[in-house]
Amino acid sequence: MEQAAQAVLDARDAHPNCSLAQLYDPNKMPSDLLAAHKALDKAVEEAYDVDFDGDEEKIVAHLFKLYAEAIESRE
């Protein structure tokens, strides 16, 4: 997962003249950044043994749910 996350950062760095808004414009996202994000999504799904078919919203929601449960169990 760390390598996949680093690949996202590296892909961003490959476009130094673009803002984050430009990089993440759904109609103009550079193909290397899109591929890096897809690989990261896959790595996260594998690490947490879930299959959301790369649906980033579902992945993020699941991670926040796990985080909330972890915080709640500490209290």
Cα-to-chain-centroid distance, residue 53:
13
pLDDT at 75: 74
Residue pair 36/7 in contact by the 8 Å Cβ criterion: yes
pLDDT at 35: 97
pLDDT at 33: 98
Q: Looking at residue 24, what DSSP letter applies? A: T
Q: Locate the DSSP E strands across 1-75.
A: none
pLDDT at 22: 96
Prediction pTM value: 0.84
Block mean pLDDT (10 aa), the chain, length 75: 97 97 96 96 94 91 94 84
pLDDT at 74: 81
